[in-house]
Structure 1
Amino acid sequence: SVIAFVAVWLMMNRTKVGKALTATALNAQGARYMGIATERMNALAWGIGGGSVTVAGALIVNFWSVNPFVGLLFTMIAFAIVALGGFGSVPGAFFAGLVVGILMELPGIWDFFTYTFDSDWMARVPMTSFKYTFVYLAYFIIMVIRPSGLFGWKH
């Protein structure tokens, strides 16, 4: 995933195609006036998205069972990551992904120490049941404080 991230970032920031994709995303009509084939750029963007999903699916199928509904959970987490990082900010999405990963593991660490050092651990509800709650709580707090995300542009 790090290799895919670096490849997309380099392509978007260091190539003419990346600049054309950015121009098309920001102002399709203006990009068309400048001679950019916006239909081709839209198709390329969809292709990059499909390729990214393919890489993610190939990596995740080793750890999760596959069923028609497994995508909803990952879509919700991915949306929270992109929104927290800031729409349009690839480095922001990267750092937000790290933050979300840490937030999702904190309840497990809490459970480990609680169950290890507490004699009445059977009466407690495992905190890992709430790991997605922490992600969405962080999403809500950041969106209230800074609606453009942590690294997003203010419009």
Structure 2
Amino acid sequence: MDRIKSSTEFIDLLHGSEPEEDIAALDAESLFTNAPVDETINLALTRIYHTDREPLPVSERTLKSMLEACTEEAPFLSHKGDLFRQCDGIAMESPLGVLFANIYTDHVETTTFVSHQKPRIYARYIDDVFITMKDKNEATKLAVIFAFLSFN
């Protein structure tokens, strides 16, 4: 899967290929605030502590507690000064929003492409996806599959 790191990289991808197919863009709606927090924390912990990589110098239990505190227990002020607690998803403007969106979207696409064919050109920047397809219905099918996997 091509992960795009900047708009310049995306432009280079477009210049480097001349799609003979139709193109489409997919965008996860409100993913930052709707990412399943517990599942995403577990996905992150698996990547950090249950792979061949060198684990962080902090215990898995401690990191899990810290991530939960920063997401499920983090209070925030409304524009009127009222104190609220984010119940689900990541609070807007949280530095963890991009990280959680990347981790969760990567999980959804990895799960999808185990059983479904990946488009010839597939590029993603956080939760925005650019694809090429031979049949215009492919984009709709992929969007439906992504949505289904996101909520199961």
TM-score for both structures, normalised by structure 1: 0.31
By relative contact order (CA 8 Å, sep 6+), the higher-ranking structure is 2
Structure with more of its chain in helix, by fraction: 1
Structure showing greater Rg: 1
Structure with more of its chain in strand, by fraction: 2
